[in-house]
């Protein structure tokens, strides 16, 4: 029975799920909702996810709606190519990195980029207090990149030589940072984030490595090609 993932193009949390499915080489369908049209709050979708958030994963009578919970379920339902390791030590390391990324990288990224990428508000036009908040968040984002760079000093992926849930959770935010560098270079420069590629070369190589994995092209936000 095919799994269906409900997502919004470019939203990091459903992208985590799509990455995890891809790492495990599983079949799935994607149903994209248009947030600008309020489709995630429409009655039809609220029957699937009463919170009106993404992702949701539906397989038969089963519906799951938390990205990390979905990754954990995938590992129990489909044990091949484990996302959370094959022993207790690996599981502990992966879970620690998953939760640190979900708590700290996600928060810093959202504070920096939501108004820039989603609302289209320039840093230059932001009130001084709001700009200060963004600058502080940019510093936290850089610190998280340093943490990930350190993890990659000895491994191809964040927790070893194969992609895991840690990579699935980190990749969307790092790739969206690259997207901001590509389409909003002036904004990134104002926040001191325009040289991340050069400052974190291992992270840059990792991002390209993950993106090049078989099937990852399908997870990329469709609106980027419009």
In three-state form (DSSP H/G/I as H, E/B as E, the rest C), the secondary structure along 48-109 is: CCCCCCCCEEEECCEEECCHHHHHHHHHHHCCCCCCCCCCHHHHHHHHHHHHHHHHHHHHHH
Is 142 domain-assigned? yes
- 56 plus 104 within the same structural domain: no
Q: Which of 54, 77, 100 is the last residue before a domain boundary?
A: 77
- 197 plus 94 within the same structural domain: yes
CA distances from 133 to 36, 68, 106, 128, 194 (A): 26, 28, 15, 9, 18
The predicted pLDDT at position 66 comes to 97
Taking the CA atoms of residue 199, residue 98, residue 84 and residue 29 in that order, the dihedral angle to the nearest 10 degrees is -90
pLDDT tens-place string over residues 66-80: 999 999 999 999 999
pLDDT tens-place string over residues 27-38: 999 999 999 999
* Rounded Cα distance, 113 and 118, in Å: 8
Is 201 domain-assigned? yes
The residue written with tokens 């000093």 in the block is 153
Is-above-0.75 flag for pTM? yes
Is 222 domain-assigned? no
Strand partners, 160: 157
- 28 plus 98 within the same structural domain: no
- Per DSSP bridges, beta strands 3-8 and 56-59 are antiparallel
Share of the chain above pLDDT 70, in %: 98
Domain range for 209 = 88-214
The domain tally of the chain equals 2
The residue among 26, 4, 7 whose CA lies nearest residue 221 is 7
């Amino acid at each position: 029975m095919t799994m269906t993932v409900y997502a919004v193009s470019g939203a990091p949390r459903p992208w985590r799920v799509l990455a995890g499915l891809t790492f495990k080489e599983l079949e799935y369908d994607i149903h994209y909702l248009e947030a600008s049209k309020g489709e995630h709050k429409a009655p039809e979708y609220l029957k699937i996810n009463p919170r009106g958030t993404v992702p949701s994963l539906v397989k038969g009578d089963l519906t799951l709606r938390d990205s990390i919970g979905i990754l954990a379920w995938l590992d129990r339902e489909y044990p091949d190519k484990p996302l959370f390791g094959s022993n207790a030590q690996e599981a502990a390391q992966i879970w620690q990195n998953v939760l640190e990324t979900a708590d700290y990288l996600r928060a810093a990224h959202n504070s920096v980029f939501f108004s820039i990428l989603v609302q289209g508000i320039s840093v230059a036009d932001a009130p001084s207090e709001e700009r200060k908040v963004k600058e502080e968040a940019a510093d936290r984002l850089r610190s998280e990149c340093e943490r990930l760079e350190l993890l990659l000093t000895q491994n191809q992926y964040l927790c070893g030589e194969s992609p895991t849930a840690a990579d699935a959770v980190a990749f969307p935010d790092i790739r969206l940072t690259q997207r901001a560098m590509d389409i909003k270079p002036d904004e990134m420069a104002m926040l001191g984030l325009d040289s991340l590629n050069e400052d974190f070369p291992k992270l840059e190589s990792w991002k390209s490595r993950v993106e090049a994995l078989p099937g990852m092209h399908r997870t990329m936000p469709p609106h980027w090609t419009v």
